[in-house]
Amino acid sequence: MIKLKTLLSDIPTPIRLFLGKALLFFVVWKIVYIGFLLESKVLDHALTTHIGDACVEILNNWTSMSGFRAVREAKTSIYEGESTTEIASLILHNDRRVLYIADLCNGLELIALYIGFIVCIPSSFWRKVRYIIIGVIILDLVNIARCIGLIYLQEYYEYYFDIAHKYIFNVTVYSVTFLLWVIYTRKIHLNNETLQIR
């Protein structure tokens, strides 16, 4: 126990504050999400529907491709004897299924992770608000682009769909998130355990 206290006291104060805030944010987010948002699925459904509709809008109106539509579809799955029904956004191309966007793929957890980092790093209130708004918009656009890329691969290069879905696009989305964090922290300097924001 004494070693743990010594180890904790060796950690610089700003890092201890960051870790404490991050843990608190994580606990509060999980309580709010599991306790209120998960059961109602209001936020998940709205975000998933938005991504599906945005993909269809862009594909039909801003590309040479057309004939896409998004529909809400209920999918029932059985896991460990329990049946769960999930409503997702299904993208159809000329009434043929091309992409199924589940609530797990809507980017909500990543957005929460991004916001949590911004909230936990010391900075002015309005700077945090500005980076949260801009970052959430960018992450949303990246997720929409990811889904459009998957649709394109499904239509023309199906062989590459699985590797792009599992690896390439995930690395891209997390890299963008990391880059946003780097941009946010570039003006935050920790010197001798004090914070200077320029």
Cβ–Cβ under 8 Å, residues 51 and 146: no
Cβ–Cβ under 8 Å, residues 97 and 104: no
The 10 Å CB-count burial string (b at 16+, else e) for 17-56 is bbeebbeebeeebeeebeeeeeeeeebbbebbbbbbebbb
Does the residue 87 lie in any domain? Answer: yes
Does the residue 14 lie in any domain? Answer: no
Number of folded domains that form the chain: 1
Q: Would the pLDDT of 192 be above 60?
A: no
pLDDT at 79 (0 to 100): 62
Does the residue 195 lie in any domain? Answer: no
Does the residue 4 lie in any domain? Answer: no
pLDDT tens-digit readout, 38-54:
777 788 889 999 999 99
Does the residue 12 lie in any domain? Answer: no
Token pair listed for 144 = 């929409």
The overall pTM is greater than 0.85? no
Does the residue 181 lie in any domain? Answer: yes
Q: Which is more confident, 43 or 14?
A: 43
DSSP type of residue 11: S
Q: Would the pLDDT of 193 be above 50?
A: no
pLDDT tens-digit readout, 150-176:
999 999 999 999 999 999 999 999 999
Does the residue 24 lie in any domain? Answer: no
Question: The domain containing residue 54 runs over which residues?
Answer: 29-190
Q: What are phi and psi of 162, to 5 degrees?
A: -65, -45
Does the residue 141 lie in any domain? Answer: yes
pLDDT at 195 (0 to 100): 44
pLDDT at 16 (0 to 100): 78
pLDDT at 113 (0 to 100): 93
